[in-house]
Structures are given as C-alpha cells and as structure tokens.
A and B are shown apart, each in its own frame.
Chain A
C-alpha cells in the first residue's frame, strides 16, 4: 500500500484530489490542512508521496518542503508542488525548496494521476 499525503487548506481541493487519486491501485490517502500539520504527520508516519499546495496558513508549501529536505529521513520523499499559476518566480522557489514535480491549478485529473504514478514508481 502506498501512502499519499494531500496538503491543502481548502477542504474542497482535498476532496477533489482524493476523488482523483483513489482510482490508483494500492493507494491510501491522508490529509493535512497546513504545513505544520503536514510536517508533524510526515515525521510521525511513513508517506510515499506528498501533494503540496503553495499558499497555506501557518506554514506555506515552500517552508514545508525546506523543512522536509533538511531532515535526513525525509529529504527524498517525492513531493508535487501545486501552484495557482505557472509564474516564473513560483517555479524557481518550488525548485529551490526541493519540489520533485510541479502542477498548476486547476489540475487535470489524468495528468495528476500520471505524475503521481510516475513518482510512486520511482520509489519502488
């Protein structure tokens, strides 16, 4: 079973992401509402992939990724960064923070599934 953590402050977006990803085989989905909650969950439990929104209260997506990458046990977890636009500055910051892949909202279900499948496959 592969475990995916959906990190987004919007309940709707988490529901949407869950509805798309549950069709992947052998996948279990957990949720977190902000960076701090995500960091705590990732430290306490094992995840195979994170889907991280950029803009969140308490701790944003960039900070969360930097926190993950600074911990030896978590530095290589695949993480897809979700931004609202393909802004150059967002891409640069996401890359620097250690994002594995990038998607922009609104994401296409098929492309999200493909990206997740690719990153989960690499960890196998």
Chain B
C-alpha cells in the first residue's frame, strides 16, 4: 500500500484548495505516512480508491480526519514570550485607550492548536497587565483541526508543554494529575472560547469580526502564496481599525501584503490595521 507521484500531487492540490495549506515536496514522507494510515483505517486497498472515497463522502468526516492528521503542530506555553511582553508593554494599553466603557478587548488566537497560546495569553495578562483591573478581555482560540480543539478544551498538559513555564505559575494555575500531567484550572479553561474555523473558507470566517488583536503565528508559512494573501485579507477584515496582528518570528507581513503598518512594541514586530 503506497502513494504514487500522481496521487501525491493530486492530493496536495486537492488539500491545498480546501485548506490553503500547501505541502512542499520535502513533506512527501509526512503526507504519505498519514494518507497510508487513513487508507488502512478506512479499509481501502489503494490510494486512488481512498481519494475517491474522500471526495465523495458527503459528510466530510473523513476529510476532517485527514485535516486533523495533517495539521498537528507541537507547541508549548509562553512560546515566543517577547510577543507577550509587547502585548502588556504597549499594545494592550493602546487598544484600551480607544475603548468606550463596557466595550471588551477581543483577542483571537488562530491557529490555537491544543490551547497553549490562548491560555498563555490569558495567564500572562492576569500576571503582568495592570489594565486587567478594569478591562473586559475576551479570548477566542480557533483551529481547523477538530481534535486539537477537543484537547484544548480538556486542558491537560504534559511537562513538555510546560517546559518554559515558571514553576510558580504551574503551581498557581494547574493541578497535577499524574507524574507528568497537569490540568489547567477550570476558571482559566472556561475563560477561553474555542471554535473550529478554516481560514481559507470565507463562509466560515465571515462571522469573525471586531477583534483588536490577532495572534496568527506559524500558519501562513504552510500556505501557498494566493491563500496567504487571502488569509491576511481575512485577518484584516476581522480586526477593528487600529487592531494588531502578531505573526511567527520567521514570518513577514511585508512580503504578503501592504494593508498593515509595521511597528515595534517592546522587542516584537507588530502589524497594525490603520486607524
């Protein structure tokens, strides 16, 4: 049971059209292994028959399983924390000063994977942003992968995911449930709303509006150039005027779009939607 060149190229195109994610040739082994596993799990004897099954299955549940298999990204708490520092050291204060009383500050973590990023933001704000005293902050975590969202809601994390988390923070916000596993306290888990969304599907992203800050880290690097530009336009539409985007450290907005103004907050580059 294997995947031939034509099947790989066809699948890459099919998957890219639906998700924006483009697998370079060097991802061939990664893709083949996951396709083969799904072929076996669904009892298909050839890749072609499996691909036929995926495209005709009206419920799309097998396509979602493929998405889940192809989009797992390992992450950890307080990754690239210089961006969190930027958040509490300028960005949030700037957003807050434009808010009328009673208006909430809305933060979108997209993609949120298994929840480390939105939870890190929540904890970091509680610990380090004095503005929390009189601000209402809403954090939404979204991902295309339904399995990581289930895991995020569950709130169970290993030592490995907490490798950059100070022990005092682990003690304060987590309950140890086994030698290597910790469960985030319910008050933090319940503070984040998790939703499934495909950034490449305008029907799904249409309702995502009125955000002040978007964390979109290490997603656009997996997109082809057209999907990347469309995704950035989607983020632009999702933001309030004056809102900010944080990208991953290796990503640059200037190569994708000129919609945003680039500036520096603490040690981080941030992209602002013009007021």
Q: Do A and B come from one complex?
A: yes
Chain A residues close to B by CB (< 8 Å):
88-89, 91-92, 94-95, 99-102, 108, 110-111, 114-115, 117-119, 121-122
Instruction: Report the separation of the CA atoms of residues A99 and B57 in the bound assembly, to the nearest whole angstrom.
Output: 12
A99 to chain B, nearest CB (A): 7
A122–B48 touching, CB < 8 Å: yes
User: Interface majority SS on A: helix, strand, loop or mixed?
Assistant: helix
B56 at the interface (CB under 8 A from A): yes
A100 to chain B, nearest CB (A): 6
15 A-B pairs within 8 Å (CB atoms) are namely A88-B59, A92-B56, A94-B56, A100-B52, A102-B55, A102-B56, A108-B17, A114-B6, A117-B6, A118-B9, A118-B10, A118-B48, A118-B51, A119-B48, A122-B48
Instruction: Report the separation of the CA atoms of residues A89 and B58 in the bound assembly, to the nearest whole angstrom.
Output: 8
> Which of B6, B51, B56 contacts A91, CB < 8 Å?
B56
Q: Which residue of B lies closest to A102 (CB)?
A: B55
A101 and B17 in contact, given A118-B7, A118-B48, A121-B6 (Cβ under 8 angstroms): no
Chain B residues close to A by CB (< 8 Å):
4, 6-7, 9-10, 13-14, 17, 48, 51-52, 55-59
A114–B9 touching, CB < 8 Å: yes
A92–B58 touching, CB < 8 Å: yes
B64 to chain A, nearest CB (A): 15
A101–B55 touching, CB < 8 Å: yes
A8 to chain B, nearest CB (A): 20
A110–B55 touching, CB < 8 Å: no
B56–A111 touching, CB < 8 Å: no
Q: Which residues of A contact B56 (CB under 8 A)?
A: 91-92, 94-95, 99, 102
Instruction: Report the separation of the CA atoms of residues A102 and B52 in the bound assembly, to the nearest whole angstrom.
Output: 8
